[in-house]
Amino acid sequence: MTNLNCESPLIAPKEQPRNLRIYDSFDRPLRDLRISVIDQCNFRCVYCMPQNQRIEHYTFLKQDQWLTFPQIERLARLFVKLGVGKIRITGGEPLLRPNLSNLVGKLKGIPEVKDLALTTNGSMLIQHAQALKDAGLDRITVSLDTLDPALFRQINGFRGTLEKVLDGIQLCQKIGFGCIKINVVLQKNIGHRHILDLVRYFKGRKPILRFIEYMDAGNCNHWSPDAVVPASEIVKLIHEHFPLRAVRSNYYGEVASRYEFLDGEGEIGFITPITQPFCRTCTRARVSADGKMYPCLFANHGTDLRPFLRQDIPDDVLLNIIQSDWRNRKDRYSELRAKSLSSQKSLPKIEMFQIGG
Ligand code: SAM
Ligand code: SF4
Ligand code: SF4
């Protein structure tokens, strides 16, 4: 059974809200904007910000380097003019940003924003879920890799408790979030039992599990292809215990390959940046907490928009910068990685906690 609440309202290109359509060098439209509101995090996940690695020498942004909420809103209003209809707030851990629900309310007030989502580690949802809902947040994605309390803490650097995240997810359901997704990053060392436990727990409930292949995002996780579990293995494993069938994408550019349970108990998704890259339909621009626009998750350079967000600089100037950046975009890192792993992996890249996934 397909959970209709999770279908994007942006199904057909002609329904896109836009004044100006812009396309990059590979004819990909600009449709989604991911805004990181903070680079700090209360977790230290092994695949993102492992403790005792180079991250401990990274200098987190100071508060006065963050884009302010009015600056983020201004940027969002410009991006929607160029075709963006979906915005995702991310981080670091976005719920560490004070008064985040105020920003949600501002972004929700932009009529062209048809889908406003947040990705969080879930550890502070208990305190913030109601305010986010009241402010108009449409969807929540919670990152949760295991239901084993000890493994959970091991993965996140012994920073948080599983119980709090599960309580947060339950609260989101209770207060009526229509679509909740659970992001699971899989690394080789995670046993099959943990994967099946997650499926068993969420099957038939509202949240949709999405298994994500471990990516070579940033440099501090010291990624190696050997640590990747191909999604096809997980599909096979789950199918053996809970029969599945593939279903069509909800919309152009959807990153997850979707499957539904044959017994009608919901669906799951697989995000396959390593084994089946989806650069060809990548419609996402990303802005870091200090206002740099990145055309790709694996970029090593972003265009600094912050100096142009001063009140005395007209919107047209900013629009031109964003447009020309997107029009020149040639990024397809994952496709190239698939062809040549060795030549890609040592390049310096922005870290995942700076750009938000
Ligand atoms: N802190 C929030 C969270 O964890 O949900 C938001 C930011 S986090 C960088 C966004 C997403 O990226 C999370 O779902 C996380 O699991 C995923 N992620 C981080 N590092 C990853 C990696 N190396 N490979 C695949 N996914 C990763
Ligand atoms: Fe923090 Fe999210 Fe990165 Fe984990 S994945 S360290 S929760 S930013
Ligand atoms: Fe998009 Fe870059 Fe990921 Fe390809 S590698 S899907 S271009 S973010």
- pLDDT at 45 (0 to 100): 95
Distance CA 251, CA 13 (A): 9
Which strands sit side by side in the sheet containing 179-186, from one edge to the other? 244-247, 257-261, 267-271, 208-213, 179-186, 139-143, 115-120, 86-90, 32-36, 284-287, 292-294, 303-304
Using pLDDT thresholds of 50, 70 and 90, give the confidence band for residue 16: very low
Q: At residue 325, does pLDDT exceed 90?
A: yes
- pLDDT at 252 (0 to 100): 77
Distance from the CA of 352 to the center of ligand 1, in angstroms? Answer: 7
Give me the domains of the chain, ranges plus CATH numbers. 14-355 (3.20.20.70)
- 231-241 helix and 192-202 helix, angle to the nearest 10 degrees: 60
Q: At residue 114, does pLDDT exceed 50?
A: yes
Q: Where is average pLDDT lowest: 54-58, 195-199, 248-252?
A: 54-58
- Supply the Cα-derived Rg of the chain in whole angstroms: 19
Nearest Cα residue to atom 2 of ligand 3: 296
Q: At residue 319, does pLDDT exceed 80?
A: yes
Which among 283, 306, 310 is positioned nearest to 296, based on CA atoms?
283
Distance CA 199, CA 267 (A): 10
- pLDDT at 3 (0 to 100): 40
Which among 92, 140, 93 is positioned nearest to 116, based on CA atoms?
140
Which ligand has the nearest atom to the CA of 184? 1
Distance CA 53, CA 66 (A): 24
Distance from the CA of 236 to the center of ligand 2, in angstroms? Answer: 28
Q: Where is average pLDDT lowest: 26-35, 116-125, 197-206, 335-344?
A: 335-344
- pLDDT at 7 (0 to 100): 56
42 CA: nearest ligand 2 atom: 1
Average pLDDT over residues 141-150: 97
Q: Are 228 and 168 in contact (CB under 8 A)?
A: no
Average pLDDT over residues 192-206: 93
Q: Report whether residue 37 contacts ligand 2, using a CB cutoff of 6 Å.
A: no
Q: Cα dist. 2→11, 169, 259, 265, 290 in Å? A: 15, 20, 9, 9, 38
Record the pTM. 0.94
Q: Report whether residue 202 contacts ligand 2, using a CB cutoff of 6 Å.
A: no
- pLDDT at 341 (0 to 100): 57
Distance CA 152, CA 162 (A): 6
